Chains A and B, each alone.
Chain A
């Protein structure tokens, strides 16, 4: 117990990094996932193929590999640098890799949501003169989102937990890294394990409850 109290502030610093990663990745993966699903349902074959290829490649690659590729491939080899400050650069490389990965799951959740929207909705939208992108934005996607709020919640929950593999991108700042770092001096500590698990639960449980509530509230009656 003592080591949890002693290293608490240090671990808390790391946990805040996980929260920061989560917040930024949530926004980016939702945006990118929406773009991807728009490509996958677009009438333009090239866009459809590109969206499908992206999802199939990235979704089926292990996250640790994607993160390692972001750091070693894109950053070191190709020279994609977000910041001269290594820790800031590491943060954004993780954000990039994790968002790119999570976006696939957002895309697929949304695509199943689109399948719940009756075909007549798109037809009525076309019939009043909305273009494809207008009808996607105003009619199809809003209904698709409402249909998959709970699954999207699950995707976000998985993403939050996935921030703990940030270390794979060589970014040594998150709570998982700091936990191992602490264990190197204190030895393995059950209270620290439990403390960190509880911290994640404190964030994730409300998200599950909130998205469940939101899904009911926003459900589209037909």
Chain B
């Protein structure tokens, strides 16, 4: 898993703690994500998966501990934080495409306004990315005119347009109708094959088995188990994980 010969992890969380009021949502989290690694985060609702994911681009602040991204501690605010976020893509459960902008504008906004790319270059690259996720023909439409699956693929293209060092996915297929899940997962598997570093909160076992290097099982704000996908799904070590798996596997 070492790209460009760099063996240091891309992300390292050390003793990370986070509260919402009295609720302790992240408890002494230790986690690394290697370059090119695909990490799947799985676990019961309310376990802190989204919060964990969102601390990595500082959409959530942390109370204590450190998060190091690409060798640097996460900046607290201002331009440095904006720059960090531009290097960490994020794909949301509810897509969050800019509703007043066309599909192509959604994909070119960041490169133009954050990276200062020329519009023509951004559009050329934007069309390439839309082509790659299979929605180039929809470029001039608005998000509301697209299906959920198409919107989520746009969101992935929007993240890719920033040439991020990694992409965070927070339940990217949970809001989709079943027949659209696969088209989004296929795009994600493609990214994984191309060596993109990804943290993916998902319950899609198929994806985890096809693309993940590692599975992290989270419950009650703690990382309860880390394992390979194959081992985790067939032979989980902890009772908590076995119990959880028996529930999701039976339906």
Residues of B within 8 A of A143 (CB): 99-100
Checking A123, A146, A220, A221 against B59 with a beta-carbon cut-off of 8 angstroms, the contacting residue is: A123
Residues of B within 8 A of A130 (CB): 82, 109-110, 113-114
Report if A170 contacts B (CB, 8 A): no
Q: Is the CB of A126 within 8 A of B110?
A: no
Contact with A along B156-177 (1 / 0, CB 8 A): 0011001000000000000000
How many residues belonging to A are interface residues under a CB distance threshold of 8 Å?
21
Q: Is the CB of A127 within 8 A of B144?
A: no
How many residues belonging to B are interface residues under a CB distance threshold of 8 Å?
33
Report if A139 contacts B (CB, 8 A): yes
Report if A138 contacts B (CB, 8 A): yes
Q: Is the CB of A128 within 8 A of B94?
A: no
Contact with B along A115-153 (1 / 0, CB 8 A): 000101101111111110010001100110010000000
Report if B85 contacts A (CB, 8 A): yes
Q: Is the CB of A146 within 8 A of B100?
A: yes
A128-B109, A128-B158, A129-B110 given; A121·B83 CB < 8 A: no
How far is A129 from B162 in the complex, measured between Cα atoms in Å? 9
Residues of B within 8 A of A146 (CB): 100
Residues of B within 8 A of A118 (CB): 96
A159 CB to closest chain B CB (Å) equals: 26
Checking A125, A128, A220 against B162 with a beta-carbon cut-off of 8 angstroms, the contacting residue is: A128
Residues of A within 8 A of B59 (CB): 123, 126-127
Report if A222 contacts B (CB, 8 A): yes
Residues of A within 8 A of B98 (CB): 121, 124-125, 139
**Interface of chain A residues 206 through 222 with chain B (CB within 8 A):** 220-222
A129-B86, A220-B99 given; A124·B145 CB < 8 A: no
How far is A126 from B78 in the complex, measured between Cα atoms in Å? 11
Checking A124, A126, A129 against B97 with a beta-carbon cut-off of 8 angstroms, the contacting residue is: A124
How far is A222 from B143 in the complex, measured between Cα atoms in Å? 8
How far is A118 from B99 in the complex, measured between Cα atoms in Å? 10
Contact with A along B133-165 (1 / 0, CB 8 A): 000000000111100000000010011001000
A198 CB to closest chain B CB (Å) equals: 38
22 A-B contact pairs sorted by A residue (CB < 8 Å): A120-B94, A120-B95, A121-B98, A124-B92, A124-B155, A125-B98, A126-B85, A127-B88, A127-B90, A128-B89, A128-B158, A129-B83, A129-B86, A130-B109, A131-B78, A131-B79, A131-B82, A138-B113, A143-B99, A143-B100, A221-B145, A222-B99
- A residues with a Cβ closer than 8 A to B are 118, 120-121, 123-131, 134, 138-139, 142-143, 146, 220-222
